[in-house]
Amino acid sequence: MIGYFLTDQGRVRNHNEDAGGVYKNDAGQILAVVADGMGGHRAGDVASEMATSSLHKEWLEADELQKPEQAEEWLGNAIQSVNDEIRTYASEHEECFGMGTTIVAAICTDSFATIAHIGDSRIYFANAFGFKQLTEDHSLVNELVRSGQISQEEADHHPRKNVLLKALGTEQEIQADIQTITFEEDNRLLLCTDGLTNKVSDEEIETLASFDGDWHSFCEDMVETANERGGEDNITLAVVHYQQDVTTKEGAD
């Protein structure tokens, strides 16, 4: 199983509020994480880095997860713990008041993948039968689309496109959307922030399904495309490809 992670500041922002990584535990199972921080005075990068580093630390201590129920419980508990940590830190540091972050995380084993998300960062999945988005954005605009008040085309240019309905660290009790899918040889997962999806279409991201090369090149090409189209936001993505006997490229920013 191979994993690759890449983050880029973009061409407009003066710092990067995204974070993430792809990590293996002692059992060789992968945890991929992508987070997009929010908050003034650089508090967003504090929140996203706290979320990533806390999940990473807990993952390194995790036992092998043999059943989906175990993975779902682990992710739910770990994300609630991170939520508490972010809220405590914000209450003790005035400059971080109100900070939060999106989170998408995927536990990948040799038989299943369990994913969790809060906010508008996304996870896409590709296998021999097709390509689809697994997550549903927790955003105002997506809710307007779901309720039929605006079209998807209107949503793409809506002035309140970045308003989130849910974010990690902003509420005392937070519940991630968690699901488990079958994960088999040659299946692929892509986790990414809206810095990518606001600039690169689903049709272009769908090349995930047929890509047959170095995942470093795939990620670099996606980032380059987003930057060529303005790069107003930070751009972050992680890929997990189910392949046998391949070393994971681990990283976090």
Structure-token match 């999806």, residue found? 197
Q: What distance in Å separates the CA atoms of residue 168 and residue 118, rounded to the nearest whole number?
A: 7
Q: What is the pLDDT of residue 155?
A: 78
To which CATH superfamily is domain 2-127+166-252 assigned?
A: PPM-type phosphatase domain (3.60.40.10)
Q: What is the pLDDT of residue 252?
A: 44
Q: What is the pLDDT of residue 39?
A: 81
Question: Which among 9, 5, 4 has a CA at the least distance from the CA of 235?
Answer: 9
The shares of helix, strand and coil residues in the chain, as percent rounded to the nearest 5, are 35, 30, 40
Structure-token match 């994300």, residue found? 79
Domain limits, the chain: 2-127+166-252
Q: What is the pLDDT of residue 154?
A: 80
Q: What is the pLDDT of residue 251?
A: 52
Contact by Cβ (8 Å): 39, 49: no
Cα of 202 vs its chain's centroid, Å: 16
- What does the block give as tokens for 54? 């806390």
- What does the block give as tokens for 232? 């107003």
Instruction: Enumerate residues 6+ apart whose C-beta is below 8 A from 165.
Output: 138, 139, 140, 143
Question: Which among 165, 169, 107, 159 has a CA at the least distance from the CA of 137?
Answer: 165
pLDDT in tens, the chain (253 residues): 999 999 999 999 999 999 999 999 999 999 999 999 998 667 999 999 999 999 999 999 999 999 999 999 999 999 999 999 999 999 999 999 999 999 999 999 999 999 999 999 999 999 999 999 999 999 888 888 788 888 777 877 787 877 899 999 999 999 999 999 999 999 999 999 999 999 999 999 999 999 999 999 999 999 999 999 999 999 999 999 999 754 444 454 4
First-to-last alpha carbon distance for the chain, in angstroms, is: 21
